[in-house]
Amino acid sequence: MSRTRPDPDRAALQQGIRRLATVGLVGYAAFAMLDVLLELTLYPDAPRAWIGAGRGLGVVTIATWAWWARRGAPTVRAMVVATAICYAVSGALVGGMAAHFGGLDSIYVAGVAFYYVGTAALLPSPWRRCLAMLLPLQLATFAGQLVVVAASARWSGQFAERAPVIHAMVNGLFTAGLLAFSVGISHLLWVSRRQLFEARRLGRYRLTSPIGAGGMNEVWLARDSALGRDVALKILRAVPGASDDRWLRFEREAQVASTLSSPHSIKIFDYGASDDGIAYIAMEYLRGADLDYLVGGWGPLAVGRTLHFARQACLSLADAHQRGLVHRDVKPGNLFALASSGDEDFLKVLDFGVVRASGPAMVTREGTTVGTPEFMAPEQFLGGDVSPASDVYALGATIYFMLTGVPPFDVVGDATLWRAHASAPVVPIGRRRGHEVPMDLEAIVSRCLAKHPVDRFRDAAALGAALDAITEIPPWTPADARAAWAETRTRAPYRREGRGAAVTTPAHPTTAPGRRQEA
């Protein structure tokens, strides 16, 4: 698992591939009409079945390329390789079809110009990267043309004629020149975009690279020029309207998190707004992964590690509860495990944007209760009183998720989830996990998931005391944590995504896509 800074080109490259694929599919439809025109006029004896099959394979290739780039978290190198493969296949198909429309004399090969221009415009890249994507297209196009011409009874004789050979050479030189021109333009566009990107500033913070985005916020890695340190800068995307509560939530997160003293709560350095009204929060830049991603990618955690994380979460929440605050959105995606050297498995609780004092649950402008339904206490669904016991329920559901890989009620739909949380029994952890867990831990989680708040632990401090009293589980040591992270770095995730809502963490050293960051 890399600890390098996120590559700002990855998201742009991924988005550009999706756009270019859309343009490519439209272009293929236009070329299909050109095929028909050539077949009806100049080349009525062209093999329509083979040409149609080639056109269909081209559509499948581009669609597969776009689908692959959209899912998961492909690295920049993987996307460049995939693009080169897609272009090579497409080039071979274009060359093969060109051979049926005039052989070596065919001007059809000029169709690769659309690939060059589209790549330069929609995938601006440094010249080496652009050349790595486009050169296979150039080579495969003429290789496909030569192979099909050589195998064609009608056109193979052109190899002995001077004019068709010279014509093919001119086509090759022309497209090679256009390739070089497109690579240069792509590089210049990439440099300009990067310079503009690096010039962005908010106050004393220079934006370095995007970390993630959600429906409400963007999160950027930024450099604090005054103190010379990296920070995670959460930015409110747009100026809210008069009836919008986003300003309130944004400001509340900064104010509340900055007052908490637990080292297991996300640390806020600064917050404010730029001259043009863009609000931001500067917080510590973390290296690691949230528990939603860890469990979703590598399966249920060891019992000792789960207990270690749960105890740390209790310390952060106990600090908030002592101040009369309820987090209201405790979930695996808001518990972040550090992977930095010396701090492996040190836990941070994130996203205090929906915290409020104990009392009636706040309802959003759309009329839905704040929280994540898979981990919400029953009383939150109905907008009832929220209390520290509501956070205890959510943390119990999170512990259940860490031990089993699924939330307590793995059903779809808010109404179905509410009925399950309110009345359905929870499947025992041992049955879900496949083997028994210590009885004390099973009993504690069951009490956390009690339907009525009075039957749960009253707050995180009481839950933490109960967890500390468990003696049959060996302590999770720093050596255990280092070994767990070493395995995570060497073993690829078997699932790309965890469950739950979008991640609300300031930073990820991994390139897990879809792991957005929002409040």
**CA distances for 446 relative to 106, 335, 354, 440, 462, angstroms:** 74, 21, 26, 10, 15
Q: Which of 495, 515, 489, 393 has its CA nearest to residue 3?
A: 489
> Which residues have a Cβ under 8 Å from the Cβ of 355 and sit 6 or more positions away?
252, 253, 256, 320, 325, 326, 327, 328
User: 155 near 53, Cβ under 8 Å?
Assistant: no
Catalytically annotated residue among 290, 329, 345, 459: 329
Question: What string of H, E and C letters represents the secondary structure of 74-102?
Answer: CCHHHHHHHHHHHHHHHHHHHHHHHHHCC
Burial 408-417 (b: 16+ CB within 10 A, else e): bbeeeeeeeb
- The CA-based diameter of the chain, rounded to the nearest angstrom, is 93
Active site residue 440: no
The two three-digit tokens of residue 507, written as one number = 């930073």
Q: Burial of 470 by CB count in 10 Å (0-12 exposed, 13-18 middle, 19+ buried)?
A: middle
Length of the chain: 519
Rounded Cα–Cα distance for residues 492 and 496 (Å): 9
Contact 180, 131 (CB under 8 A): no
Q: Do 317 and 310 contact (CB within 8 A), yes or no?
A: no
So which residues are the catalytic ones?
Answer: 329
